Amino acid sequence: MKKLATMIGQVISHYKILEKLGEGGMGIVYKAHDTKLDRDVALKFLPTNLTTDPAARERFIHEAKAASALSHPNICGIHAIEEFEQQHFIDMEFLEGKTLGELLKEKELSLKEIVGIVLQIAQGLNAAHKKGIVHRDIKPDNIMVTSERLVKIMDFGLAKLKGSSKLTRTHSTLGTLSYMSPEQACGEEIDQRTDIFSLGAVLYEMVTGRQPFKGEHEAAIMYSVMNETPDPLARYKTDVPDELQRVIDKALAKEREKRYQHVDEMEADLRSVIPTLSSNIKSVTRRSKVLWVVAASVIAIAVLSIYFFYPKSGPTSANSKTIAVLPFNNMNGNQEDEYFSDGIMEDILTQLSKIADLNVISRTTMMQYKSTKKSLKEIGKELNAGVVLEGSVRHSGNRIRISSQLIDAEADRHIWAETYDREMKDVFVIQSDVAKQIAAALQARLSPGEKERIEKKQTENTEAYQIYLKGRFYWNKRTAVDMQKAIEY
Residue 382 resides in a domain: yes
The last residue of one of the domains, among 223, 243, 277, is 277
Residue 291 resides in a domain: no
Are 268 and 356 found together in one domain? no
Which domain CATH number covers 18?
Answer: 3.30.200.20
341: pLDDT confidence band, cut at 50, 70 and 90? Answer: confident
The last residue of one of the domains, among 223, 250, 277, is 277
pLDDT digits (tens, 9 = 90+) for 120-162: 999 999 999 998 889 989 999 999 999 888 999 987 755 554 4
What integer pLDDT is reported at residue 290 of this predicted model?
44
Q: Is the pLDDT of residue 306 over 50?
A: no
Domain containing 335 equals 322-458
Residue 386 resides in a domain: yes
Are 239 and 329 found together in one domain? no
What integer pLDDT is reported at residue 63 of this predicted model?
65
Q: Is the pLDDT of residue 375 over 50?
A: yes
pLDDT digits (tens, 9 = 90+) for 259-276: 999 999 999 999 999 888
Residue 487 resides in a domain: no
Mean pLDDT of 152-180: 61
Which domain CATH number covers 273?
Answer: 1.10.510.10
Are 88 and 174 found together in one domain? no
Are 203 and 249 found together in one domain? yes
| Rounded Cα gap, residues 484 and 489, in angstroms | 9
The last residue of one of the domains, among 48, 76, 93, is 93
Are 262 and 386 found together in one domain? no
What integer pLDDT is reported at residue 318 of this predicted model?
53
Mean residue pLDDT of the chain comes to 81
Residue 135 resides in a domain: yes
Question: Please, are residues 388 and 326 in contact by the beta-carbon 8 Å criterion?
Answer: yes
Which domain CATH number covers 401?
Answer: 3.40.50.10070
Are 449 and 377 found together in one domain? yes
CB atoms within 10 A of CB 278: 11
Are 45 and 110 found together in one domain? no
Residue 204 resides in a domain: yes
Residue 480 resides in a domain: no
Are 448 and 380 found together in one domain? yes
What integer pLDDT is reported at residue 52 of this predicted model?
67
Are 233 and 185 found together in one domain? yes
pLDDT digits (tens, 9 = 90+) for 81-106: 788 877 778 888 888 889 999 999 99
pLDDT digits (tens, 9 = 90+) for 206-253: 999 999 998 878 888 888 899 888 989 988 888 889 899 999 999 999
| Most confident residue range from 46-55, 66-75, 175-184 | 175-184
Q: Name the residues annotated as catalytic.
A: 137
Proportion of the chain above pLDDT 70, given as a percent: 84
Are 201 and 143 found together in one domain? yes
Are 242 and 382 found together in one domain? no
Residue 111 resides in a domain: yes
- Looking at the structure of the chain, the number of domains it has is 3
Are 103 and 73 found together in one domain? no
